[in-house]
Amino acid sequence: MSRILLFNILRFIILLFVQVFLLKNMVFYNLNVPFLYILFILLLPFETPNILLFALSFLMGFSIDLFSDTLGLHAAACTVLALMRVFFISITVQKDNYDSDPEPTLGIMGFRWFFFYTLILTITHHFFLFNLEVFKFAEILNTFSRVLVSSTFTVTLILIAEALFYRKKQRK
């Protein structure tokens, strides 16, 4: 258990620093904003208690907010992301088939499941984040375009990151 904890703490720190110091400055025409930090929430083990999942999601979002001066937007979007993760996993995964704390990774779940999991949760996160940021109905087309373009770029980055660390594991 301590190895999983150490690995997730390291993942939290690495993704936080990559987002804050590298990806924060990769904005193209104010449409494409990559948010690779949500990979931390997406890859938490299946058996993570919901209260811990929500706390870690809020902490990750709040940490991004501290560096971005966004006053809780990322914390709220990450909490919604954690809620949608719970719903998605409860609908699509039978937890009884897994042994010691598996994670929803590309190697364990396969490309098709992982792609839809990442796509749906990324769009949900971006939709709430950008709507909270703008909070104007007059900007709905601009918001939808930002959600689609940013989600595409974020999902691509997540799939690249997962492919770099891809390990094929057998499910029982």
* CA-based torsion, 86, 91, 97, 103: positive or negative: negative
Q: Tell me, yes or no, whether 66 lies in a domain.
A: yes
Alpha-carbon 38 to chain mean position? 2
- Asked if residue 69 is part of any domain, the answer here is yes
Distance separating alpha carbons of residues 114 and 24, to the nearest angstrom = 25
Residue 23 lies in a domain: yes
Residue 58 to residue 116: CA distance in whole angstroms:
23
Region 65-74: mean pLDDT is: 90
Question: What one-letter code names the amino acid at 105?
Answer: T
Q: What angle do CA 101, 103, 26 make, to 5 degrees?
A: 145
Torsion of Cα atoms, 159 then 161 then 162 then 163, to 10°: 80
Q: What is the mean pLDDT of the chain?
A: 86
**Comparison of pLDDT for 73 and 95, the residue scoring more:** 73
75: Cα separation from own chain's centroid = 12
In a domain, 171, yes or no: no
Does residue 105 contact residue 114 with C-beta atoms inside 8 Å? Answer: yes
Tell me whether residue 170 is in a domain.
Answer: no
For residue 169, being part of any structural domain is answered with no
Q: Can you give the pLDDT at residue 23?
A: 82
Domain tally, the chain? 1
Evaluate whether residue 172 is within a structural domain. Answer: no
The pLDDT of residue 22:
86
Q: Which domain holds residue 22?
A: 2-164
139-167 pLDDT, tens digit per residue, is: 888 889 889 999 999 999 999 999 887 76
Task: Please tell me what DSSP assigns to residue 167.
Answer: -
Q: Is residue 139 part of a domain?
A: yes
pLDDT(116) > 90: yes
